[in-house]
Amino acid sequence: MSTLKQENLEAPKITETPKMPNMKASPLPEPSMELSGETSADNKTYSRRILLHCTTDASKLAAGQFLKISDAERIFRPDFAVANETDKKDLENCDLSRGIVSQVEVLSVYSNCDKPIVMGLKLFQRPDSTQAASTNDLKISNTAGWLYSIAANKLGEHASHGRAGVTNIFSIMPFERTRVSGETGQVVYSPSNLIGNRYISQYGSYNWRSLWDGIVQFPNEDFYYLDKNHIVISIVKRNWELLGIPIEQELPREGRYYRIDSKVCDRVISELYDNVISKIPFTKWSQMGAVFSSDHVDETSDKEYNISVELKVSFSYPGLNDLQQ
């Protein structure tokens, strides 16, 4: 269980990424290329129970009280103590600073506030940056249904299920005291249209930078040299008729590199990134937090409020299928 601290919600900085080469070939409609001819097992699912608690007031609730989950990367890490040597070796190649949240359940709630409160989670980040992403950016649907709240301002009333990268997931009623019985809580988030498990498992560890690792570019030339084990080579092999490159008939240069037309390589990387990698709803643990807000409180009141929510968060890491907790 974590100790939580209250912080101001600041706009995260965007990290720079390598510029994409100029594309002369038009991208094909999705899905245009076979990314994988293999199937893989579902990713191993982990779960953590987290208690969120804050002491706040009306003005902070009106603005949105943000709570950061301290030491979240440690909380969400797999338990190495029960992992075998093979699993530990696999974990060395995984980015454990982020994961994919597959379900959020509410187990218990307490509030002494006399007005309804909306609880939101900061879950998603844009690929290759720390900038928050919304459910609209990632085209995610929620089988539990999105929670809409009505906010009033000078322009009138407006309904939304999130703001500033924070997604509404739960409403707390006035003076609510609830604890679920049994192991299953109230499911408030369960995505229904994520990228397939086999794509997440095979491509979830890539980002824009790593897609260009192992590619040798030559000035003023219309081809690249690619390492024979590069992910682009495996995709080209499966789509050689579409791309017009019977690469299986060629021998690697120096026993290691294939020569690939630069426009073909640009196209494969573009489609893989745009259609798969950028659609994976990763949660960066260090950026994860909760927001409690209310548009109904009297902002002039100096009353102090206590709010507590216990969550069960289920999640997975790409490529981890058999690791035991």
Cα of first residue to Cα of last residue in the chain, in angstroms, is 17
| Residue 66 within a domain | yes
pLDDT tens figures, 207-222? 888 899 989 999 999 9
The answer to whether 321 and 86 have CB atoms below 8 angstroms apart is no
Average of pLDDT values for 108-113? Answer: 97
| Residue 3 within a domain | no
DSSP code, position 42: P
Task: Say whether both 101 and 247 belong to one domain.
Answer: no
| Residue 10 within a domain | no
Average of pLDDT values for 135-145? Answer: 84
Task: Say whether both 128 and 219 belong to one domain.
Answer: no
Task: Say whether both 141 and 75 belong to one domain.
Answer: yes
Task: Say whether both 172 and 264 belong to one domain.
Answer: no
Of the candidates 281, 277, 194, 193, the residue with the CA atom closest to the CA atom of residue 232: 277
Tokens 């608690």 identify what position? Answer: 53
Checking if the pLDDT of 52 tops 90, the result is yes
Domain count for the chain: 2
Cα–Cα distance for residue pair 92/303, rounded to 1 Å: 50
| Residue 254 within a domain | yes
DSSP code, position 265: H
The answer to whether 262 and 21 have CB atoms below 8 angstroms apart is yes
DSSP code, position 271: H
Residue 215 phi/psi, 5° resolution? -110, 125
Residues 6+ apart with CB under 8 A from 39: 198
3-state secondary structure of 90: helix
| Residue 181 within a domain | yes
Task: Say whether both 66 and 110 belong to one domain.
Answer: yes
- When the pLDDT of each residue in the chain is averaged and rounded to a whole number, the result is 79
| Residue 18 within a domain | no
Checking if the pLDDT of 102 tops 50, the result is yes
Two tokens at 245?
């490159």
Cα–Cα distance for residue pair 260/255, rounded to 1 Å: 15
User: Residue 197: its pLDDT value, please?
Assistant: 61
Task: Say whether both 95 and 52 belong to one domain.
Answer: yes
**pTM (2 d.p.):** 0.73
Question: What are the CA-CA distances from residue 180 to residues 26, 103, 105, 183 (Å)?
Answer: 53, 17, 10, 8
Q: How confident is the model at residue 305 (pLDDT cuts 50, 70, 90)?
A: very high
Task: Say whether both 102 and 199 belong to one domain.
Answer: yes
Cα–Cα distance for residue pair 55/307, rounded to 1 Å: 7
| Residue 128 within a domain | yes
- Select, from the ranges 38-52, 116-130, 155-169, the one with the highest average predicted confidence (pLDDT): 116-130
Residues of the chain above pLDDT 70, percent? 76
| Residue 214 within a domain | yes
DSSP code, position 18: P
Task: Say whether both 243 and 299 belong to one domain.
Answer: no
CA 44 to chain centre: 16
Task: Say whether both 88 and 111 belong to one domain.
Answer: yes
Task: Say whether both 51 and 151 belong to one domain.
Answer: yes
User: Residue 21: its pLDDT value, please?
Assistant: 38
Tokens 């209250």 identify what position? Answer: 6
For residue 219, what are the domain limits?
208-275
Cis peptide before 31 (omega within 30 of 0): yes
Task: Say whether both 116 and 252 belong to one domain.
Answer: no
pLDDT tens figures, 241-288? 777 788 777 888 888 898 999 999 999 999 999 888 888 888 989 989
Task: Say whether both 213 and 193 belong to one domain.
Answer: no
